[in-house]
Amino acid sequence: MMDRWLIFASLLILLLPFAVFSESTKFKIVNKCRHTIWPGILTGANRPVLNPTGFILKSGKSRTLSVPDSWSGRVWGRAFCSSDSSGKFSCASGDCGSGKVVCAGAGANPPTTLAEFTLDGDQGLDFYDVSLVDGYNLPMLVVARGGTRGGCSATGCLVDLNGACPAELRVARGNSTESVACKSACEAFKDPQFCCSDAYATPDTCRPSVYSLFFKYACPRSYSYAYDDKTSTFTCASADYVIIFCPHPYTSQKLLGARRQADELPLVNKTMMYIGHKHASGVSLSG
């Protein structure tokens, strides 16, 4: 029996240099906002759960998570959070409704900027995007690091849209007039033409609206409405991902690693020019 064990151990030592070990994907979540945020995480159905499902992240801090193989789900930021006298936790922006810091399977209440991932999908590629389909609450940048295949491009929305948000889409904090989030037209008006539902449930019948164009002009790589796939979905293989809240628009090329990519990402003046043009032309954003 001992001889068999020695033979097995010797073979294991010889084969060890040639063994291939699978390393889990890493998400590095970074808070560059001037205030504390509480990232939330929701795992897709029938996928291994990524924990924690929510945590505190102070300004200037980061946290790295090991993501299960073939994970699919969403990451977002909650802001202006506190606990009441009974200990119930809630947020003015991005709340998941769990009543706790952890979201425990609860998703984000819109409007919320979402980073969406499906890892190890078709042909072994990761699929990822930053979506404003459910509205917007915080600037966000997703950067793929160390990918071996696929475009591996950065995506996101670098600008703060809350101040420029059309009045009919704004979400204020408590009794304040300060906008802390910007609704999608679907969330604000419940109209099928904005929601791509009912008679508008196909790419041919659901077209970009003046509201989705507001988001798209500001953040051309982000999803602005349901059928915005062609310019908003990105792929990469064997990458780790950096998810940055409130990235610095004018220094993000250092993170992207390529000036070309940085030039393609939006700056706030494009948004303001678009809004100014609409008002100067006598076009109301509320239709």
What pairs with residue 116 in β-bridges? 74, 129
Closest CA to 44 of 122, 101, 121, 112: 121
Give the pLDDT of residue 10: 52
This prediction's pTM: 0.82
Q: Sign of dihedral through CA atoms 91, 89, 102, 80?
A: positive
Closest CA to 119 of 81, 69, 64, 74: 69
**Is the separation of the CB atoms in 107 and 42 below 8 Å?**
yes
Closest CA to 215 of 80, 114, 127: 114
Percentages helix, strand, coil for the chain, rounded to the nearest 5?
A: 25, 30, 50
Q: pLDDT tens for the chain, 287 residues: list them.
A: 555 554 444 544 444 444 444 468 999 999 999 999 999 999 999 999 999 999 999 999 999 999 998 999 999 999 999 999 999 999 999 999 999 999 999 999 999 999 999 999 999 999 999 999 999 999 999 999 999 999 999 999 998 999 999 999 999 987 778 899 999 999 999 999 999 999 999 999 999 999 999 999 999 999 999 999 888 999 999 999 999 999 986 544 454 444 344 444 444 444 444 444 443 333 344 43
Structure tokens that stand for 232 in this block: 């908003």
| 158 Cβ contact list (under 8 Å, min separation 6) | 139, 141, 219, 247, 248, 249, 252, 265, 266, 267
Give the pLDDT of residue 176: 78
Give the pLDDT of residue 1: 52
Give the pLDDT of residue 273: 47
Give the pLDDT of residue 268: 41
Closest CA to 232 of 216, 244, 256: 216
Domains of the chain are 23-280 (2.60.110.10)
Strands 240-245 and 25-31 come out as parallel
Structure tokens that stand for 237 in this block: 């293989």
